[in-house]
Amino acid sequence: MRLGVLDVGSTTVHLLVVDASPGATPVPTASHKRVLRLAERLDADGALQEEGVADLLDAVASARAVATAEGVEELSGFATSALREATRGADVLERVRAETGVALEVLSGGAEARLTFFAVRRWFGWSAGRMLVLDIGGGSLEMAVGRDEDADVALSVPLGAGRTTRSHLAGGVTRPRDVAGLREHARAVLAASTARLHEGGPPDLAVGSSKTFRTLGRLTGAAPAREGMHVPRELTREALEELVPRLASLGPAGRRRLAGVSQARAGQVVAGSVVALEAMRALDVERLSLSPWALREGVILRRLDALAPLLGR
């Protein structure tokens, strides 16, 4: 069957359409993305500004039209940190439902971490053993560890690439003292939150998922996307140590010209690299395998598992 999942994140609204059936790999057939930067469009009270609400309604309606044109049989929608943290976010969600017909489920940070872990487990399989998964979004960093399909520990901390750019590197000019301040901030947040992830000992496999980690992998020599999702890719801490100061020194225009860095993410790539490096340090990880599957695929796979009895599997 053809499924669609609509991800309303801090930076983008992204529709992914897949052909899927229980027990089979979901095959992407279409992708529709719009950059909204919702987390940057909050008023002094933390509510989404009316212009932002109007753009969100338009983006969701557009995504639903694409889903219909693509023959999507079931469309699932979810929202992450931007709407989760916005004041009066429930009112915005009700307007979206009433005016577009799309009901968005707000995921907690823990649910994000667990769904991402589930997708990564399905990608790498049981042979990966005890697995640690890191995922950097616009608003938060998700971390999860476990041996099974459901993580033993799943955490979310406010170290997203967009959030930390706004708090420490606003304006795009990355002075050494600002980068140092972000590193110190990330270390403090991680020191207070990662002890539970260490309890079972080192993982057999550490994985990075999400656009941020894939971008950092590409910048440190991983294969480009055009070579396909099945090509093994990785990110090392040593390479990231060298990348952070290089990215910071380039300036906004230079970062936008880098191969593999999208225009939507260019302004956040320095903060993303700092958070990634400090997370690897805090968790004593030297090397991350990179997963093409993350939160959206986790939502799809969970839905397929729920549908399996109805589809005769």
Our count of domains for the chain comes to: 2
Q: Which domain holds residue 157?
A: 109-296
DSSP string of 116-150, one letter each residue? HHHHHHHHH-GGG-SEEEEEE-SS-EEEEEESSSS
What is the distance of C-alpha 200 from the center of its chain? 25
Residue 304 lies in a domain: no
Task: Tell me which of 74, 106, 138 is where a domain ends.
Answer: 106
Please report the beta strands in the chain, taking only residues with DSSP state E, as ranges in sequence order. Answer: 2-8, 12-19, 27-35, 74-79, 104-106, 131-136, 141-146, 153-157, 205-209, 234-236, 287-290
Residues 99 and 169 reside in one and the same domain: no
pLDDT, mean of residues 256-269: 86
CATH code for position 90: 3.30.420.40
Residues 175 and 48 reside in one and the same domain: no
Residue 267 lies in a domain: yes
Residue 308 lies in a domain: no
Residues 129 and 246 reside in one and the same domain: yes
Residue 312 lies in a domain: no
Residues 74 and 216 reside in one and the same domain: no
Q: Looking at residue 158, what is its pLDDT? A: 96
Residue 115 lies in a domain: yes
Residue 225 lies in a domain: yes
Residue 22 lies in a domain: yes
- Average pLDDT over the chain, rounded to whole? 94
The answer to whether the predicted template modeling score (pTM) of the entire model surpasses 0.75 is yes
Residues 133 and 247 reside in one and the same domain: yes
Express as a percent the part of the chain with pLDDT over 70. 99
Q: Which range among 96-105, 110-119, 243-252 shows the weakest confidence by mean pLDDT? A: 243-252
Residues 98 and 120 reside in one and the same domain: no
Residue 310 lies in a domain: no
Q: Looking at residue 262, what is its pLDDT? A: 82
Residues 13 and 153 reside in one and the same domain: no
